[in-house]
Structure 1
Amino acid sequence: MADRAGRSRALILGASIFSLSLGFADAGFAQAAATDGAGRSPDRQKQAQRQSRRQPKPQNVQVAPAPVLNARAQIGGTPVQSLDTITVAASKTEERAIDALAPVSVVTLEQIQGLQPKRLADIFYNVPGVSFQDRGDDPATAINIRGLQDFGRVAVVVDGARQNYQRSGHNANGSFFLDPELVGGVDIVRGPTANIYGSGAIGGVVSFRTKDINDALRPGERWGVDMTGSYGTNKDRWLGSVFAGVRADPNVDIFGGVVYRKQSNYKDGNGTEIGNTGNEIAGGLMKLTVRPAEGHEIKFGTVFQDYQYDIGQFNRGPVLTAAQRALYQGSSVYASDTRNYTGTLTWKYSRPDDMWFDWNATLYGNRTENNQVKTYHSSTAGAALCGAGNFGNNISGCVGDRRGYVLDTIGIDVNNTTRFNVGDWRNALTYGVDAFQDDVKTSDSRGNSNITTPGGLRTVSGGFVQLKNNYSTWLEVVSAIRYDRYDLDSATVSTGGDRFSPKITVGVTPVAGFTPYISYAEGYRAPSITETLIAGAHATGGGPNFFTCADGSSGLFCFLPNPNLRPEVGKNKEAGLNLKYNDVFTTGDSFRGKFNVFRNDVDDYIDLVASAPEPVPPFVSYSRHYQYQNIAHARIEGFEAETMYDAGTWFVGVAGHLIRGKNTQTNVGLATITPRKVTTTGGVRLLDRTLVLSAQWSSFGANNDLPTGYLPSTGYELVNLYLSWQATKDIVFTASVDNLLNQYYRPYAIPGSSTDGTTQNDVLFSSPGPGTVYKAGLKVHFGGA
């Protein structure tokens, strides 16, 4: 399973980054002259001052932040609530999340470090409207916002680069690879209210920022190194990372780091070991930042990750009859090597005296390459090779057969903001263009993956104009129009389309701290390559062929392409309330709250639809055809809340959602809905706030409103405990207990088999979450001027 040479290269890369960084350092560099109190260069300080002066929302309604669980707070920094964090995700202009007239949430680096996450889903418990459809045997992340997922309905970006990987199988149809140790912060926007952010995001946007030099260097430091190590039970969860940076010059920063993570198979809450949940991950990043002139910042960034894991589960299905034995001869297991490469070039410009230009331009490329080798199939006793009359399983072949999936994405995102005043109106006009191209290549010696994940080329582009108006201190209006265009081409199909999508938001602040708003926004998602082009017979896996398809191939059923598939259009109505108060009960305390209700009507919703069952003697009846089709209308509606009260020495908050979604044609619920999530977080700060103890209780409701053939998710309660102790200014000890009650849970509904409605075994037995996990970690900082 281990690619030792790859791991060695990653460690050598980390050592090289650090030594290279020190080599660039200027011995005569004076940090005190080059930075302000926050570790920013004079140029960055001017930019920050300019942003503060030019912020459309008047500054006299901004309130001072209050303390919250925050590693920097424990070493004397200025702590802030996460909702006070600056974000640009909703409107492309800087604003605090609490002030945004949109359902925006932020996860900070300090929160991530306190949680000691194994995978990205662990950091989103406090974010309403967000859930995950992850498999235990696959380290990829499949994110769901308000019941929408798959095929780009949620736009995921890492340092501005779109993550569009998709592989069809018994899993979510859309995932991405990112280790949480590389993450420096996350912005989440729920619903198509962020339609200016990019095409396709009818569910929302999740924007990840990887770690950068300001995450490793403290104020006054010229260079810095953060070293982290941790261990966890259930079973043998190891993590080691090193991140280092140096300010080689007042206008040149160099930063890099490496991470290595490994774990063995875990047990679920019932004590059952879940096969193939072990994995080994090595990754790293490097960034070079140059400020060639006042106001200009150019950043070169690259991220590399290598995931080694086995995917697939041993057969545990019903094999009591001859027919069942023919259908369930076992699941294949594949040794998988997935590599993800991301490269970005970003150019930002901002000057205090320039009201016309404040731009951000990003050029990026991303490759996800998944190579798999079959290592086991229960019908071949796990060791049979092709030859001597053995032709293997007709889906996946013999042990030793290979298949691979590659997605290359290149893209550009350019936007600018022009600010001007007209009387008492302060105005910010933001406009931009963006485009990306997906190139999918699939290889499979047996040909089945070429059918289920067809290759092709898709180009998606768009542009937008947004006007943000602020009048006095009590009125804000945000209006926008976006244009989207897509073209999809393959050897057999050429199609495309375009559309304008509007957005309007109005918010009022009649009294300080109380801001209700209403919003209407539309989003447009182009059909993916798979949805449009999938065609051919689905192999039987060793049983009899039920149907012959139009191309002469035979299998369990036939996929039909749909070149006439229409794009989805989301039409979201929303009403929200932002609450922001300081000194509520005592001096220095604070309360933050965001509440919203929404209804997202999705026209031409795309789903995989089966034809009417036909008799297949001597078996029962089965569907001959499966095709992605437009459903006239799907409706998703719900309520979301995110709150936090912080008194300094203690804090408590509640966040969560209630959501329901239906296919309005059939009045049947959508399988991807998480109906209820309520997370309560509370804690205390002791020993002059160097010791933080906290607990988190998350309550999830089961999804029982499902199409025929689905196994409902489980309702469950997760209780997690966290400890963070700042032993010295340079040493932090963390410990946690995940799933304290050792609950068994399956967080999402399991689809039925396409042949007889029974549960797909490989999904069923790879979906339960781990039982109780104990973790402990140590972070050590080195730095100097």
Structure 2
Amino acid sequence: MTRASIRPIGITSISILALMAASPAVAQEGDLPGEFLGTILLGQSKREILTDTAVPETIINEEEIQDRQAGTVAELIDSVPGVSLVNGASPSGSGISIRGYGANSVYGTDNKVLIQIDGADSTGEEIYRIGNQLFTDPMLYKQVNVIRGTVGTFEYGSGIIGGVVQLETKDASDFTGGEIGFRLNQTFEGYSNGNGFVTSTIGAWQPTEDLEFLFNYTYRNQSDMTDGAGDTIPGSSADLPSWLAKGKYTFGQDRDQSLTLVLNNTETQELDVPYDTFYTVDFGNVNRTVKKQMTGLRYRYSPIGNDLVDLDVNLTYTDEQIDSSYVWGSYPGNPQFIRDLLDADSHYRTTRLVAKNTSYFSTGAVSHQLRAGVELSNTKRNDFRAGPGGTDQRFAVFAVDEMQIGNLTLTPAVRYEYQNLKGTDVVAPGHTDPYNGQYTNSGPMGGISAFYQFNNGFAVFGSAAYTQGLPPIDDLDNPEYADTAEQSRTYEAGFSYTGGDIFGDGDAVRFKVNAYQTLLWDISTYTTSTVFDLAEVQTEGVEIEGSYVLANGFYTDLNINVPNGTEYDERGNETPWRGRAPQSARLTLGKRIGDTWDLSWELVGAKGLTDRYDDRTPGFGISNVRATWKPQDGGLLEGTQVRFGVENLFDRDFRTALSTLNAPGRNVKLTVSKLF
């Protein structure tokens, strides 16, 4: 196989003003933005930019999660540069794409974006034309951590090219403040588009200083939403009950040990809906029920005065079942292969044990933060009428050493993973041989990053990383794929700045610019819609995060994503990468008025994009407004929060480039919560 030449990153520069001016949707607004700024107060910076690390990482805290009033987990992270959504407003068909990898219009995942909930892997199998299977409700979580690319992912998994999304559920002490007693938090939310309604009840009980319990029940219901033209968005209705139970016991000398048990359950039921959640191919309709249960037991040991021991052992079990039954008469002729696809129930069970220790020590002039551990996992999938069942057993060891040498931080990371992939004796419809193969795959992977901090607030950084994507259970139907690991390498470079009192007393400037280039080869994933097998995929891009905050509460937030990508098939044909997202930008202006008000205006825009089939998705520009009121005077309103938001303020009709469905039109949201 001839490797495609690696071209230097040559991406057309983009400015927020030019991008927005180029969008017809914005142009139609005329002078509305100016009038808007004159009549609406603006809010505070939503997010801290991590300018002290070479890893492209973004943390979304609980305040921002609540502020965004997201209807799906995917919508929580669409403000992160490099992150794009596939049908983000549809609970059953939504997907997450990072740097061109993850969800696409064929599979809800391509195993190159890892999603973890309290350390438990969310199912990463390539289920045909069903979304990312992340049906959990965003109100269950207090923090989302997004790592883009490969370099910061070796302690979490292998084959990660797009990135990692880590969700952390709420704790009882977040509501009790660590004090003995019981607290109740009730949230109600309603929104206009789809007549949505959400209720979330949290009970937090701390009977002693060392023991805490939390229970949360969230119920979300909405009808089909409509786009900016008033047309129904298929598959956007939802009936999602979720519950979370969590307990933590702290013990030992100096309270240096803890045990945490978490149970997380989400389910959804859809009746007489198209099998294809992306609504691109008519396979007929199904009745489908999805149930996902996650159980985790976590042990932490961090003895005071011992810098060499900070132990974290996490045992998780995920049980996901997708029951699907064909609705008779929904597909003319009822051919057998369609019934085999639509009646294909799938059941996944994943057990994962990760033991990791963090040590702090010095060797001469070098100080170390060494994170090292082992990982054991076992995934089982039942016999699948439209595909193989089997087991995927893995063992991995990893180490990440963050070495500080003056102003320079060097972080080498290594991972070795071994896999035993084994099929069953079932012969799938349309096949003559059973998927009973057994394959072993293994390999080392790793990378290194460097970060240098100057004394004037500037920093420069760079990294190189290599990873292997070991085949999933789906690949048991192809011996060539089941015996081969996909490979990729990524180079990154950038600079950041943190400073204050630049243009006035008390102001603060933070920004981070990161460029990357990734090459993927030995490809087995993208075969369904390809005439010739792919030989290589090259993606590249620039991600920019910036903020400027004034002492009086005014702020500006800016995120820019400038991606590009090319795929090469085995005959040397070159076409735009199918997962390529458009150039996009997000500008937020706001103001905080004391601790009481937080008001903001967000402008989101994307340039038009032509895909590999010469189909063009027009550019767009939309406005979102948000307001939060937190009374500070005590009394009956103490602990109350009221949030008001309008998404797609001017009711624009648009579709994001990776989506198969239009985005929702204007959506007015109101959320009221009270901590008792």
- TM-score for both structures, normalised by structure 1: 0.72
CA distance in 2 between counterparts of 1:165 and 1:720 reads 32
CA distance in 2 between counterparts of 1:398 and 1:432 reads 42
Alignment pair present for 1:779 and 2:673: yes
Q: 1:339–1:370: 8 Å Cα contact kept in structure 2?
A: yes
Report the 3-state secondary structure (helix = DSSP H, G, I; strand = E; otherwise coil) of the residue aligned with 1:113. Answer: helix
CA distance in 1 between counterparts of 2:186 and 2:378 reads 38
Alignment pair present for 1:300 and 2:265: no
Q: Which residue of 2 aligns with 1:8?
A: none
CA distance in 1 between counterparts of 2:486 and 2:275 reads 37
Alignment pair present for 1:479 and 2:412: yes
CA deviation map 1:462-505 (0-9, x unaligned): 11122221123x11111122112222111321112111112111
Report the 3-state secondary structure (helix = DSSP H, G, I; strand = E; otherwise coil) of the residue aligned with 1:192. Answer: coil
**How far 1:403 moved relative to its partner?**
3.9
CA deviation map 1:165-207 (0-9, x unaligned): 43533355x5422211111111111111122322221221111
Q: 2:72–2:89: 8 Å Cα contact kept in structure 1?
A: no
Identity of matched residues, %: 21
Report the 3-state secondary structure (helix = DSSP H, G, I; strand = E; otherwise coil) of the residue aligned with 1:779. Answer: strand
Match of 2:652 among 743, 751, 761: 743
CA distance in 1 between counterparts of 2:376 and 2:308 reads 24
Matches within 5 A, 1:126-205: 126-134=79-87, 138-139=91-92, 141-149=94-102, 150-166=109-125, 168-171=127-130, 174-193=132-151, 194-205=153-164
Q: Which residue of 1 aligns with 2:555?
A: 651
**How far 1:437 moved relative to its partner?**
1.9
CA distance in 2 between counterparts of 1:347 and 1:216 reads 22
Whichever residue aligns with residue 181 of structure 1, its letter is: M
CA distance in 2 between counterparts of 1:247 and 1:564 reads 50
Q: Which residue of 2 aligns with 1:406?
A: 347
CA distance in 2 between counterparts of 1:168 and 1:599 reads 28
Q: Which residue of 2 aligns with 1:566?
A: 484
Q: 1:126–1:656: 8 Å Cα contact kept in structure 2?
A: no
Whichever residue aligns with residue 110 of structure 2, its letter is: F
Q: Which residue of 1 aligns with 2:366?
A: 425
Matches within 5 A, 1:458-607: 458-472=392-406, 474-491=407-424, 492-530=436-474, 532-534=475-477, 562-563=480-481, 565-607=483-525
Report the 3-state secondary structure (helix = DSSP H, G, I; strand = E; otherwise coil) of the residue aligned with 2:100. Answer: coil
Report the 3-state secondary structure (helix = DSSP H, G, I; strand = E; otherwise coil) of the residue aligned with 1:234. Answer: coil
Q: 2:622–2:652: 8 Å Cα contact kept in structure 1?
A: yes
**How far 1:441 moved relative to its partner?**
1.8
Report the 3-state secondary structure (helix = DSSP H, G, I; strand = E; otherwise coil) of the residue aligned with 1:110. Answer: helix
Report the 3-state secondary structure (helix = DSSP H, G, I; strand = E; otherwise coil) of the residue aligned with 1:355. Answer: coil
CA distance in 1 between counterparts of 2:595 and 2:446 reads 47
Match of 2:580 among 673, 676, 697: 673
Q: 2:317–2:351: 8 Å Cα contact kept in structure 1?
A: yes
Report the 3-state secondary structure (helix = DSSP H, G, I; strand = E; otherwise coil) of the residue aligned with 1:106. Answer: strand
Superposition RMSD in Å? 2.8
CA distance in 1 between counterparts of 2:489 and 2:251 reads 44
Q: Which residue of 2 aligns with 1:715?
A: 619
Match of 2:334 among 392, 404, 423: 392
**How far 1:281 moved relative to its partner?**
0.7
Q: Cα–Cα, structure 1 residues 730 and 360, in superposed 2: closer, same or farther, change >3 Å? A: same
Whichever residue aligns with residue 641 of structure 2, its letter is: V
Q: 1:712–1:749: 8 Å Cα contact kept in structure 2?
A: no
- TM-score for both structures, normalised by structure 2: 0.83
Report the 3-state secondary structure (helix = DSSP H, G, I; strand = E; otherwise coil) of the residue aligned with 2:145. Answer: strand
Match of 1:694 among 588, 591, 600: 600
CA distance in 2 between counterparts of 1:165 and 1:496 reads 19
**How far 1:361 moved relative to its partner?**
1.0
Whichever residue aligns with residue 645 of structure 2, its letter is: S
CA distance in 2 between counterparts of 1:278 and 1:220 reads 41
Higher RCO (CA 8 Å, separation ≥ 6 residues): 2
Report the 3-state secondary structure (helix = DSSP H, G, I; strand = E; otherwise coil) of the residue aligned with 1:605. Answer: coil
Which runs of 5 or more residues in structure 2 are unaligned?
Answer: 1-42, 103-108, 425-435, 632-636
CA deviation map 1:127-183 (0-9, x unaligned): 0111122376553542111001133211110000011243533355x5422211111
Report the 3-state secondary structure (helix = DSSP H, G, I; strand = E; otherwise coil) of the residue aligned with 2:226. Answer: coil
Report the 3-state secondary structure (helix = DSSP H, G, I; strand = E; otherwise coil) of the residue aligned with 2:48. Answer: helix
Report the 3-state secondary structure (helix = DSSP H, G, I; strand = E; otherwise coil) of the residue aligned with 2:652. Answer: coil
Aligned length, in residue pairs = 602
Q: 1:365–1:410: 8 Å Cα contact kept in structure 2?
A: yes
Match of 2:317 among 365, 371, 386: 365
Alignment pair present for 1:768 and 2:675: no
Q: 1:102–1:576: 8 Å Cα contact kept in structure 2?
A: no
Q: Which residue of 2 aligns with 1:107?
A: 60
CA distance in 2 between counterparts of 1:219 and 1:295 reads 16
**How far 1:341 moved relative to its partner?**
0.2
Whichever residue aligns with residue 187 of structure 1, its letter is: N
Q: Which residue of 2 aligns with 1:289?
A: 248
**How far 1:379 moved relative to its partner?**
5.0
Whichever residue aligns with residue 538 of structure 2, its letter is: R
Q: 2:87–2:663: 8 Å Cα contact kept in structure 1?
A: no
CA deviation map 1:28-75 (0-9, x unaligned): xxxxxxxxxxxxxxxxxxxxxxxxxxxxxxxxxxxxxxxxxxxxxx9x
CA distance in 1 between counterparts of 2:193 and 2:329 reads 26
CA deviation map 1:415-451 (0-9, x unaligned): 11222123332112221111322211255xxxxxx22
CA distance in 2 between counterparts of 1:214 and 1:82 reads 23
Matches within 5 A, 1:600-639: 600-609=518-527, 631-639=534-542
Q: Which residue of 2 aligns with 1:663?
A: 567
Q: Cα–Cα, structure 1 residues 711 and 197, in superposed 2: closer, same or farther, change >3 Å? A: same
Alignment pair present for 1:726 and 2:620: no
State which structure, 1 or 2, has the greater radius of gyration over its C-alpha atoms. Answer: 1
Q: 1:421–1:427: 8 Å Cα contact kept in structure 2?
A: yes
Q: Cα–Cα, structure 1 residues 461 and 398, in superposed 2: closer, same or farther, change >3 Å? A: closer
CA distance in 2 between counterparts of 1:397 and 1:336 reads 14
CA distance in 2 between counterparts of 1:334 and 1:424 reads 64
**How far 1:221 moved relative to its partner?**
6.5
Q: 1:140–1:176: 8 Å Cα contact kept in structure 2?
A: no
CA distance in 2 between counterparts of 1:244 and 1:611 reads 49
**How far 1:397 moved relative to its partner?**
4.1
Q: Which residue of 1 aligns with 2:51?
A: 98
Q: 2:192–2:667: 8 Å Cα contact kept in structure 1?
A: yes
**How far 1:566 moved relative to its partner?**
1.9
Whichever residue aligns with residue 99 of structure 1, its letter is: D
CA distance in 2 between counterparts of 1:676 and 1:201 reads 23
Q: 1:103–1:594: 8 Å Cα contact kept in structure 2?
A: no
CA distance in 2 between counterparts of 1:490 and 1:103 reads 37
Q: Which residue of 2 aligns with 1:82?
A: 47
Q: 2:92–2:133: 8 Å Cα contact kept in structure 1?
A: no
**How far 1:220 moved relative to its partner?**
5.3
CA distance in 2 between counterparts of 1:715 and 1:442 reads 44
Q: Cα–Cα, structure 1 residues 435 and 276, in superposed 2: closer, same or farther, change >3 Å? A: same
Whichever residue aligns with residue 652 of structure 2, its letter is: Q
Q: 1:275–1:313: 8 Å Cα contact kept in structure 2?
A: no
